[in-house]
Amino acid sequence: MIYIHWIVLVAYYVVAIIAMITVLMEHRQPAKTIAWVLILSFMPLVGIILFFFFGQRIRKDRYIWQKSLDQLTKRSMIEFVEQKNLELPEQHKELIQLFVNQNWALPFKNNETDIYTSGYEFFPALLHEISKAKDHIHITSYIIEDDPLGRLIRDALIEKAHQGIEIRFLYDDVGSWKMKENFFELMREEGIEVHPFMPVRFPAFTSKVNYRNHRKIIVIDGKIGFVGGMNLALRYVKGEKGEKWRDTHVKITGAAVYGLQRAFLVDWFYADRTLITNRKYYPDTAIKANNNLIQIVTSSPTNVWAELEQGYIKVLLSAKRYVYMETPYFLPTEPILFALRTAALSGVDVRLMVPFKMDSKLVQLASQSYLNQIIASGVKVLCYKNGFNHSKLLVSDDNVATIGSANIDFRSFENNFEANAFFYDKTMAERVKNIFFTDESQCIPLQNIKEINHNSFIYRLWESIVRLLSPLL
Q: What does the DSSP assignment read for 369-381? A: HHHHHHHHTT-EE
**What's phi and psi for 287, nearest 5 deg?**
-75, 135
Residue 394's DSSP bridge partners are 325, 402
Mean pLDDT by 10 residues, the chain (473 residues): 62 61 58 62 58 54 53 62 78 95 90 97 98 98 97 98 98 91 97 92 53 94 98 95 93 96 91 87 89 94 87 98 97 94 98 88 79 93 96 98 96 92 97 98 86 58 56 53
In Å, what is the CA distance from 200 to each residue of 161, 176, 184?
28, 12, 17
368 Cβ contact list (under 8 Å, min separation 6): 452, 463
Measured on CA atoms in the order 347, 353, 358, 360, is the torsion positive or negative? negative
CB-CB neighbours of 461 under 10 Å: 10
Helices 119-132/148-162 angle, 10° precision: 10
Burial status of residue 280 (CB atoms within 10 A of its CB: 0-12, 13-18, 19 or more): exposed
> Could you tell me the fold of the domain covering 60-94+109-290?
Endonuclease; Chain A (3.30.870)
pLDDT for position 301: 83
CA–CA gap between residue 370 and residue 424 (Å, rounded):
30
7 Cβ contact list (under 8 Å, min separation 6): none
Q: How many helices (H) and strands (E) does the chain have?
A: 17, 20
CA–CA gap between residue 139 and residue 152 (Å, rounded):
15
pLDDT for position 412: 92
Residue of 169, 222, 215, 217 lying closest to 196 (CA atoms) = 169
CA–CA gap between residue 6 and residue 11 (Å, rounded):
8
pLDDT for position 206: 46
pLDDT for position 60: 47
DSSP annotation of 213 reads B
In Å, what is the CA distance from 299 to each residue of 30, 205, 416?
21, 22, 8
Q: Same fold for the domain at 60-94+109-290 and the one at 307-472? A: yes
pLDDT for position 337: 95
Break the chain into its structural domains and give their ranges.
Answer: 2-55, 60-94+109-290, 307-472
pLDDT for position 300: 86
CA–CA gap between residue 259 and residue 278 (Å, rounded):
15
- Specify whether the CB–CB gap between 151 and 122 falls below 8 A: no
In Å, what is the CA distance from 179 to each residue of 67, 151, 290, 316, 368?
31, 12, 43, 39, 33
Q: Residue 393: left (phi > 0), alpha (psi -120 to 50), or beta?
A: beta
Catalytic residues: 214, 216, 221, 390, 392, 397
pLDDT for position 276: 87
Distance of CA 75 to the CA centre of its chain: 25
CA–CA gap between residue 392 and residue 216 (Å, rounded):
12
CA–CA gap between residue 344 and residue 381 (Å, rounded):
12
194 Cβ contact list (under 8 Å, min separation 6): 168, 169, 170, 171, 184, 187, 188
pLDDT for position 203: 46
Tell me the per-residue pLDDT of 3-12, one tens digit each, with 9 for 90 and over.
666 665 566 6
Tell me the per-residue pLDDT of 436-446, one tens digit each, with 9 for 90 and over.
999 999 999 98
What is the DSSP track for 404-421?
A: ES--EEHIIIIISBEEEE
- Residue range 307-472, CATH number: 3.30.870.10
Rg for the chain, CA atoms, rounded: 23
In Å, what is the CA distance from 346 to each residue of 161, 316, 379?
55, 11, 11
pLDDT for position 304: 78
Give the SS3 label for residue 111. Answer: strand
Distance of CA 4 to the CA centre of its chain: 47
Burial status of residue 276 (CB atoms within 10 A of its CB: 0-12, 13-18, 19 or more): buried
pLDDT for position 122: 98
Helix (H) or strand (E) run with residue 30 in it: helix 30-42
- Specify whether the CB–CB gap between 188 and 194 falls below 8 A: yes
